[in-house]
A and B are shown apart, each in its own frame.
Chain A
Amino acid sequence: MEEETNGAGGPLLRLTGVRRRYGGVQALRGVDFEVRAGEVHALVGENGAGKSTLIKIISGAEAADAGTVEMAGRVLPGGSTAAAFEAGIATVYQEPQLFGELPVAENIFLGRELRRRGLVDRAAQRRRAVELLRRLGLDPGLADVRVADLPVAQRQLVSIAKAFAHEAKVLILDEPSAILTDREIEVLFDVLRSVRSHGVGVIYISHRLDELTVISDRVTVMRDGTRVATRPTAELTIREIARLMVGHAPAGAAQRRAVPDGPPVLEAAGLSRRGAFRDVSLQVRAGEVVALFGLVGSGTGAIARALYGIDPPDSGTLHVAGREVRPRTPADAVAAGLAMLPGDRKVQGVFASKSIGFNISVGHLPVLSRARVWVDRARERAVASQFIDRIRIKAPGPATPVGTLSGGNQQKVVLARQLVRRPPVLVLEEPTQGVDVGAKDEIHDLVLGLADEGSAVLVVSSDLPEAIRLADRVLVVRGGRIVAEFPHGAAQADVLAAAAGDAGDQTPDQGADQGADQGADQGADQGSDDRGEER
């Protein structure tokens, strides 16, 4: 069916030579991109490839440094959401852009109210909202409900309804499926097929490559701010797309380290949490680095939070050094010998206005204090200085406020906090997110060094090269379960394909171990032909 629609019409939206720089990072390096009327055009790429920036420029949320955006032959002024909207571009952002205190009907029309004699025509808005909700397979009664009272997945659908409310010609969906259930995704796809048949061009961003083969007509792959390919989806396999995404970059795996034999220090068995992950079992030995790799929304973050007692699991067991533990709070986890580097540093990690010394010692105050009540400032400074040297934090001294450091150095400070008392188990979530390349290598060396000194390290990452480089074993998580395991030195494309849903119909609904075996098999000898039945 794709071929006919592709033939119809010239490009509806055309980008030419679009560039965008953020500080020192060139996010887009001259991208050409076009969307035809009546196609679903998938946009894929690894984190940081430039997809989000491209979307922001098309939707007018940001202006390009160079290059043009044309709608139906007319160049749009940059950086104007209003102009993009007038031209018929509607965007559904990853984070639902909704207003909790307003009812759904008003949210749908906010900024573009239906009016009668200058006043908001609530009755008309309500009627149209009910119509739209029906079309999206949602309960029309939701029209009067405040958005704050809706579950998150339904909010996402409401924001999609909002995009449909205004007869858009180009519809941008940024990871719409990340928080939707399979059934909700089916409904979404039905709707997309219907708008496609009405000549709307859809830009569909997703990490889940298995979805793309179902819904998209063409796929554009981005890497490092450039467009590396645009092809009809039918011509590509998931593995080929994955290969285009990671490129032919050297695998960059660190030297294989000798992992001492021994019993697992961290052992999870059958951990489940409703709506987040199911039947997760994993083991990490002393001195071993295990990576938990998954795409955004796969559930890796939830697993990490469960281990650390932030969102405890509903069932399953957890052993640290042979002792069963049930962390219900982070303090429990720390007491059990777990240390964690949380994923969202801004929220959970650093006290920006405080000194490096404070940031390192917080959480270890009993160790650093005399008689457990009085913090020994001199000792705090001494410990901080020691770490500044040891992990090469680039800062004038321990009194420097952390907020003034670069992202990579902030990260090292948070890492240092976990090292004051060497924990037997270290859980690192996205340890190099938002960190520049040089600092990244240093952090990686640090992590490997910790393992060499005997810590059991679990790295939770959506950064594929990182997972492969650091890990002695890579566990791939998809849809809340561990679906594959790869040994050190696996090919990036294989791991990505497993995470993105290649052979997605074969591995699920079995134990983690069995899934892992199958995943490893795929990694070894998988051809491009075994996804036929998905199409």
Chain B
Amino acid sequence: MTALARPWTRRPAAGAIEGQEAVLIGVIALLWTALGLSVDTFFTASNLQNILATVAPVTIVGVGMTAVIVTAGIDVSVGSTMAVVMVIVAQQLRDGGLAFAPAVGLALLVGGVLGLINGALVGYGRVHPIIITFGTLNLYRFVALQIFGGREVAGVPGTLGPLGGGAEGRTFGLPHSWLLAVALAALMWAYMRHVPTGRHLYAIGGDAEAARLAGVRVTRRLLTVYAVTGLLAGLAACCMIGGGGLVAQSAGTGMELQVIAAVVIGGTSIQGGRGTVLGTVLGALLVGTVTSAVTLLSWPNELTSLFIGVFILVAVGSDLLRERRRRSL
């Protein structure tokens, strides 16, 4: 009965840390070492806290975006979703005197509803998610601007300070927002790795029709991942409001690109079916480090774009090379 047996030596697929993640850890370690040696202010508490607090909202949304992209989808509306949440919550904090918990609850509710709308359109619409969420990107932005009513929201109280980047947003020197991001990432990591419906996300991204035939509830899963991404955008919005002050009309603009960059740099395939949340956490951290480094070194800001662009192309390129190697089997 060994007629079909062929020796097969290949790295088992189920290792806890995958190739791209190991590479990212290496690159980040290298960068931090180099920066630590060349810039005395890099390894200061305030700088590291600043990096983590900046990276936190991107990571939080990235946790949901990873799941979305693994299903071969994408959500480019997250920035607009955050804008809607931020303006509504900021106004309520200022005018309604909302307390911390209700404010977060409101943010989650609004974000979740907007995400659910995306999920319903993607799940039932059978139109490519980039088109649908591009539509809602504009739609949600319009809604946000309507609520802004032509004015930024100024004088927002510091109710959400514990989630912000200030001193009250830290425990043992670590920003709460980043701890939260890591906790959420761990949850999503466990879900996508160990829970059946989480594994199904990879199946949907691999081949949605085959997944359906295998008994996966495709529409329900899509609905869920977009709703969760909206929910997380709501949470990230709370971090952005943070210590209060001003919420400008441009709130959340470009967020989707930062998040997608983090996910892609983290090794998640934009074609779906492969990717991990750990990669996204590292991808966001790398982007944050580079941004900070450019500032600390007083290099021109546009270099940040250059580095991020190169990272994305390298990540996508290595993905392509893997694919090619496989084809040639």
Chain A: residues with CB nearer than 8 A to chain B? Answer: 59, 61, 81-82, 85, 91, 93, 97-103, 106, 110-113, 115, 118-120, 122, 134, 136-139, 141-142, 144-146, 148-149, 151, 154, 157, 183-184, 186-187, 190
Closest 9 CB pairs of A and B: A99-B206, A111-B214, A111-B215, A144-B12, A97-B210, A137-B1, A101-B273, A139-B5, A113-B196
* B1-22 with Cβ < 8 A to chain A: 1-8, 10, 12-14
- B195 lies within 8 A of A118 (CB): yes
Stretch of B126-134, B151-159, B197-205, B310-318 with 4 or more beta carbons under 8 angstroms from chain A: B197-205
Contacts of B194 in A (CB 8 A): 119-120, 122
Given known A-B contacts A99-B207, A100-B206, A144-B12, A137 and B213 have beta carbons under 8 A apart: no
Restricting to B270-315, which residues have a CB under 8 Å from any CB of A?
273-274
B220 interface contact, C-beta 8 A = no
Q: Which of A59, A110, A137 is B203 in contact with, Cβ under 8 Å?
A: A110
Q: Out of B3, B202, B215, which one reaches A101, CB within 8 Å?
A: B202
- In contact, B213 and A93 (Cβ under 8 angstroms): yes
What's the Cα separation between A120 and B200 when bound, in Å?
11
User: Given A139-B6, A145-B10, list of 18 further CB < 8 A pairs?
Assistant: A81-B212, A81-B213, A81-B214, A85-B215, A100-B206, A103-B13, A110-B200, A110-B214, A111-B211, A120-B199, A136-B4, A137-B2, A137-B3, A137-B5, A138-B5, A144-B14, A151-B329, A157-B4
* A187 engages B214 (CB within 8 Å): no
Interface pair B213/A97, CB less than 8 Å apart: yes
Q: Are A184 and B8 in contact (CB under 8 A)?
A: no
Residues on B with C-beta less than 8 A from A102 are 13, 199, 202-203, 206
Interface string of B188-230 (1 = CB under 8 A from A): 0000001110011011011100111111100000000000000
Which one, B4, B13, B195, B207, contacts A144 given CB within 8 A?
A: B13
Residue of A111, A115, A122, A148 near B216 (CB, 8 A) is A111
Bound CA–CA A91/B210 (angstroms): 12
Known A-B contacts A85-B215, A151-B329; A99 and B273 likewise in contact (beta carbons under 8 Å): yes
**Which residues of chain B are within 8 angstroms of A118 by Cβ–Cβ distance?**
195
Shortest distance from the beta carbon of B7 to any chain A beta carbon, whole Å: 7
20 contacts between A and B (CB under 8 A): A81-B214, A99-B202, A99-B206, A99-B273, A101-B205, A101-B206, A103-B14, A113-B199, A118-B195, A120-B194, A137-B5, A139-B6, A139-B8, A142-B8, A145-B8, A145-B13, A154-B4, A183-B3, A184-B3, A186-B3
Complex Cα spacing A139 to B6, Å: 6
Shortest distance between the CB of B144 and any CB in chain A (Å) = 35
- Contacts known (A101-B273, A110-B216, A183-B4); A149 close to B329, Cβ less than 8 A: yes
Across the two chains, which residue of chain B brings its CB closest to A100?
B206
User: Which of B206, B211, B329 has the largest number of chain A CB atoms within 10 A?
Assistant: B206
Q: B199, B200, B269 — which one has the most chain A CB atoms within 10 A of its CB?
A: B199
**A471 to B: closest C-beta gap in Å:** 36
Residues in B with CB closer than 8 Å to A142 are 8
Which residue of B has the minimal Cβ distance to A136? B4
Across-interface contacts of A101 in B (CB, < 8 A): 202, 205-206, 269, 273-274
For the complex formed, measure the closest distance between the CB of B90 and the CB atoms of chain A, giving whole angstroms: 39
Given contacts A136-B4, A144-B14, contact A82 B215 (CB under 8 A): yes
Measured CB to CB, the closest approach of chain B to A353, in angstroms, equals: 16
Q: Smallest CB–CB gap between B6 and chain A, Å?
A: 6
- Please name the residue on chain A nearest to B70 by beta carbon: A101
Residues on B with C-beta less than 8 A from A110 are 199-200, 203, 211, 214, 216
Closest chain B CB from A395 CB (angstroms): 28
Taken together as a complex, chains A and B put the C-alpha atoms of A364 and B211 apart, in Å, by 42
Are A99 and B211 in contact, with the CB atoms below 8 A? Answer: yes
Q: How far is the CB of A159 from chain B (nearest CB, A)?
A: 10
Q: Which residue of B has the minimal Cβ distance to A112?
A: B215
A149 CA to B11 CA, complexed, in Å? 11
| A142 CB to nearest chain B CB (Å) | 6
The answer on a CB contact under 8 Å between A120 and B206 is no
Nearest-neighbor residue (CB-CB) of B203 within chain A = A99
Q: How far is the CB of A258 from chain B (nearest CB, A)?
A: 48
Which residues of A are found within 8 Å of B12, using beta-carbon distances? 103, 144-145
In whole angstroms, what is the CA distance A187 to B194 when docked?
34
- Which residue from chain B places its CB closest to the CB of A96 in the assembled complex? B210
Interface centre among A97, A111, A120, A139 (most CB of B within 10 A): A111
Q: Which of B195, B215, B326 has the most CB of A within 10 A?
A: B215
